[in-house]
Chain A
Amino acid sequence: MKRPRIVLIEDDTWVQQQHARVLGTEFEVHAAANALEGIDAIDRIRPDAIVLDIFMPGPNGVVLLHEIRSHVDLAIIPIILATNNAAEISLAQMKPYGVVEVLDKTTMHPEDLPAAIRKALS
């Protein structure tokens, strides 16, 4: 059975590895280190879901959300935000951008990430 494809956009190499480690057993993970790599990966892979950090060097996650939203074919992809600043970002604010879950990296359990993706894909 084909595994769901995830584009994971996270600038910190070790956080990226950590997420990929947890997701890798269940999903096909394609990692990107910044928004530009991320949009390229999304274009190529057409993932089933996107995991996105907000604060990154260069164009940040919000810029990427706007970009994704501007493409009709990409706007339907569910997005999970994984950020250290979840307290400052409400899901209600982000829902118009296709965000289905905001995970707080400072309090979440590693398994919360695959659980959020499963929920988004169900």
Chain B
Amino acid sequence: MPHATLVAVMEGTDNKSSQRGGTSMNVPLFMTAAHELKSPLALVRQLSLTLENGDHSPAEIEKIAHQITLTSERALRLTTDLTKTSRLEDSLFTLEPLNPASLCESVVEELAPLYRAKGKNISFRSRQRTLLALANKDLLRRILLNFANNALHYSADDMPVVVSAQLREKGSRIRLSVRDFGPALPKNVWGFTARSLGPTAQTLHARPESSGLGIYIAHQFAEAMSARVGTVRHRDGATFYVDIAASTQLRLF
């Protein structure tokens, strides 16, 4: 039985003017963003109050302080993403040849402390030698960070999240993906998720009980550089991916 039972792709190049969050950040998105920021801020507050009021061992204090740092960084990543999303309309994003494997590795390196602190594991796997990609490095990095952040929440403790890069469409495109391993979602639930992915992307429900804001942001960033994002359901988790153009320069050698 094949693992992939459903593929949903958000095309990144159609109806751009109507899709982009742009400067007109809508009310549902605004509310979703506020909701998403509440969780890390509430946790930071609780941890700080605990430090203020409790009699803790040095090891416990170090652990709580580390959690405050990582949770704050998570909230800051989101605020930076939201700021960038609101300015997509006004900005020009330079596309440059970049090494997708190196980018994946840097994302893994950046999130590894957070994964470790949550008792989870993230790794990079390159299935084959990939060409250079043509993309905006910052936006692509943020797309992968959002996917990996989403995967952190939904992966099982004993299973690693795998970031990978592979060639697609006879080497004309490169797929960077984040695969998580966790409980399978019921087909009807996934069907709802897939229907949420579409050319008129709203705040997507990436998973049940998730606001999907990270995936929505990833979609906006992908669109800004004519890439496309999508997701594949597996029996044991999900893959979120971004397809980007391969750099044609490399075909010369």
User: Which residues of A line the B interface, CB within 8 A?
Assistant: 11-15, 18, 21-22, 55-58, 60, 84-85, 105-106, 108-111
Find out whether the CB atom of A58 lies under 8 angstroms from the CB atom of B208.
Answer: yes
Question: In the assembly, what is the distance between CA of A60 and CA of B46, in Å?
Answer: 23
Contact of A18 among B47, B118, B153, B183 (CB under 8 A): B47
Question: In the assembly, what is the distance between CA of A97 and CA of B67, in Å?
Answer: 34
For residue B94, CB closer than 8 A to chain A, the reply is no
Please indicate the chain B residues that have their CB under 8 angstroms from the CB of A108 in the complex.
46
Q: Which 4 A-B pairs have the closest CB atoms?
A: A106-B42, A105-B42, A84-B38, A14-B67
Find out whether the CB atom of B208 lies under 8 angstroms from the CB atom of A57.
Answer: yes
Q: How many A-B residue pairs have CB under 8 A?
A: 49
Q: How far is the CB of B52 from chain A (nearest CB, A)?
A: 10
Known: A21-B50, A57-B153, A106-B38. A12 touches B43 (CB 8 A): yes
Find out whether the CB atom of B208 lies under 8 angstroms from the CB atom of A110.
Answer: no
Q: How far is the CB of B62 from chain A (nearest CB, A)?
A: 14
| Beyond A22-B50, A57-B209, 12 additional pairs, beta carbon < 8 A | A12-B39, A15-B43, A18-B43, A21-B50, A57-B208, A58-B208, A84-B35, A105-B42, A106-B38, A106-B45, A110-B49, A110-B50
Known: A15-B46, A110-B50. A58 touches B41 (CB 8 A): no
Find out whether the CB atom of B43 lies under 8 angstroms from the CB atom of A110.
Answer: no
Please indicate the chain A residues that have their CB under 8 angstroms from the CB of B153 in the complex.
11, 57
Q: Give chain B's interface secondary structure class.
A: helix
Please indicate the chain B residues that have their CB under 8 angstroms from the CB of A12 in the complex.
39, 43
Which residues of chain B in 37-80 are interfacial with respect to chain A, using CB atoms and an 8 Å cutoff? Answer: 38-39, 41-43, 45-47, 49-50, 53, 67, 71
User: Which residues of B line the A interface, CB within 8 A?
Assistant: 35, 38-39, 41-43, 45-47, 49-50, 53, 67, 71, 118-119, 153-154, 183, 207-210
Question: In the assembly, what is the distance between CA of A109 and CA of B45, in Å?
Answer: 9
Question: In the assembly, what is the distance between CA of A113 and CA of B46, in Å?
Answer: 11
Please indicate the chain A residues that have their CB under 8 angstroms from the CB of B50 in the complex.
18, 21-22, 110
Q: How far is the CB of A63 from chain B (nearest CB, A)?
A: 10
Q: How far is the CB of A10 from chain B (nearest CB, A)?
A: 11
Q: How far is the CB of B121 from chain A (nearest CB, A)?
A: 14
Find out whether the CB atom of A57 lies under 8 angstroms from the CB atom of B42.
Answer: no
Q: How far is the CB of B32 from chain A (nearest CB, A)?
A: 12
Please indicate the chain B residues that have their CB under 8 angstroms from the CB of A84 in the complex.
35, 38-39, 42
Residue of B nearest to A35 (CB): B209
Between-chain CB contacts (< 8 Å), 9 pairs: A18-B43, A18-B46, A18-B50, A55-B209, A57-B207, A58-B208, A105-B42, A106-B42, A110-B46
Question: In the assembly, what is the distance between CA of A87 and CA of B210, in Å?
Answer: 19
Please indicate the chain B residues that have their CB under 8 angstroms from the CB of A18 in the complex.
43, 46-47, 50
Residue of B nearest to A21 (CB): B50
Q: How far is the CB of A57 from chain B (nearest CB, A)?
A: 5
Find out whether the CB atom of B43 lies under 8 angstroms from the CB atom of A14.
Answer: yes
Question: In the assembly, what is the distance between CA of A11 and CA of B183, in Å?
Answer: 14
Please indicate the chain B residues that have their CB under 8 angstroms from the CB of A106 in the complex.
38, 41-42, 45
Question: In the assembly, what is the distance between CA of A13 and CA of B71, in Å?
Answer: 12
Give the one of B43, B46, B210 with max A CB within 10 A.
B46
Q: How far is the CB of A12 from chain B (nearest CB, A)?
A: 7
Question: In the assembly, what is the distance between CA of A22 and CA of B67, in Å?
Answer: 16
